[in-house]
């Protein structure tokens, strides 16, 4: 009788232990995320697994990948692609301001990475608390407008 009682008591005790371990694990995980967040030095793959490519909405991507912090490094990864006899390449430009960004106007843009920088992953560190406007200028701006290869970030201090 006493043994049966003890057995019945065992189950809740095991559950309590289980929950305790789970809570501890969660605390550890959130703690490490917070520590990462604090250091403000994340390395972020632009586009996630899709990398830097034509036709992916990078404005939407940036909304989910943020918030960004000064000291974070963005990685732009891209390969030349062959479609029929046309080779499609990409690059990375910094556009002048929000107006240029809206219009995909590359007149005063600065190319920070050409096609050759993509395969190894071009790294760009956000060093200032200001707005950055990234875009691909290929095909006379078509990659930026129709291809949605543009996004802006304003890293937090
Ligand atoms: C891209 O995503 C943004 C944010 O969700 C949205 O406002 C915008 O309309 C999208 N652009 C296109 C061309 O779908
Ligand atoms: C590329 O392909 C198009 C049609 O698919 C053809 O008209 C054109 O002549 C080709 N160009 C070269 C350089 O082979």
User: Which residue puts its alpha carbon closest to atom 11 of ligand 2?
Assistant: 85
Domain extent for 120? 43-153
User: Which residue puts its alpha carbon closest to atom 6 of ligand 2?
Assistant: 85
Identify the CATH number of the domain in which residue 145 sits: 2.60.40.420
Based on the domain organization, do 54 and 128 belong to the same domain?
yes
Structurally, how many domains does the chain consist of?
2
Instruction: Tell me the CA–centroid distance for residue 9 and ligand 1, in Å.
Output: 56
Ligand 1 touching residue 16 (CB < 6 A): no
Ligand 1 touching residue 148 (CB < 6 A): yes
Based on the domain organization, do 130 and 109 belong to the same domain?
yes
- pTM (two decimals): 0.75
Based on the domain organization, do 69 and 128 belong to the same domain?
yes
pLDDT at residue number 7:
53
Instruction: Tell me the CA–centroid distance for residue 16 and ligand 2, in Å.
Output: 70
Euclidean distance between CA atoms 106 and 103, whole angstroms: 9
pLDDT at residue number 13:
58
Euclidean distance between CA atoms 151 and 128, whole angstroms: 17
Based on the domain organization, do 33 and 48 belong to the same domain?
no
pLDDT at residue number 43:
97
pLDDT at residue number 33:
46
Q: Which ligand is nearest to the CA of 148?
A: 1
pLDDT at residue number 32:
46
Q: Characterise 107 by phi-psi region: left (phi > 0), alpha (psi -120 to 50), beta (else).
A: alpha
Contacts (Cβ under 8 Å, ≥6 apart) of 70: 40, 126, 127, 128, 129, 155, 156, 157
Based on the domain organization, do 111 and 133 belong to the same domain?
yes
Q: Is the peptide bond before 154 cis (omega within 30 degrees of 0)?
A: no
Based on the domain organization, do 26 and 60 belong to the same domain?
no
- In the chain (157 residues long), the average pLDDT of successive 10-residue segments reads 51 52 50 50 97 98 96 97 93 98 98 98 98 98 98 96
């Amino acid at each position: 009788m006493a043994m049966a009682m003890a057995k019945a008591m065992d189950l809740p005790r095991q559950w309590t232990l289980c929950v305790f371990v789970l809570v501890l694990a969660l605390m550890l995980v959130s703690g490490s995320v917070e520590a990462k967040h604090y250091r403000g030095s994340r390395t972020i793959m632009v586009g996630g697994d899709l990398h830097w490519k034509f036709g992916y909405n990078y404005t939407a991507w940036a909304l989910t990948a943020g918030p960004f912090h000064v000291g974070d490094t963005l990685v732009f990864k891209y390969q030349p692609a062959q479609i029929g006899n046309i080779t499609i390449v990409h690059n990375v430009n910094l556009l002048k301001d929000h107006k240029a960004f809206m219009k995909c106007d590359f007149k005063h843009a600065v190319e920070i990475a050409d096609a050759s920088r993509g395969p190894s992953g071009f790294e760009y560190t956000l060093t200032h608390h200001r707005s950055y406007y990234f875009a691909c200028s290929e095909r006379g701006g078509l990659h930026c407008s129709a291809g949605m290869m543009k996004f802006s970030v304003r890293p937090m201090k």
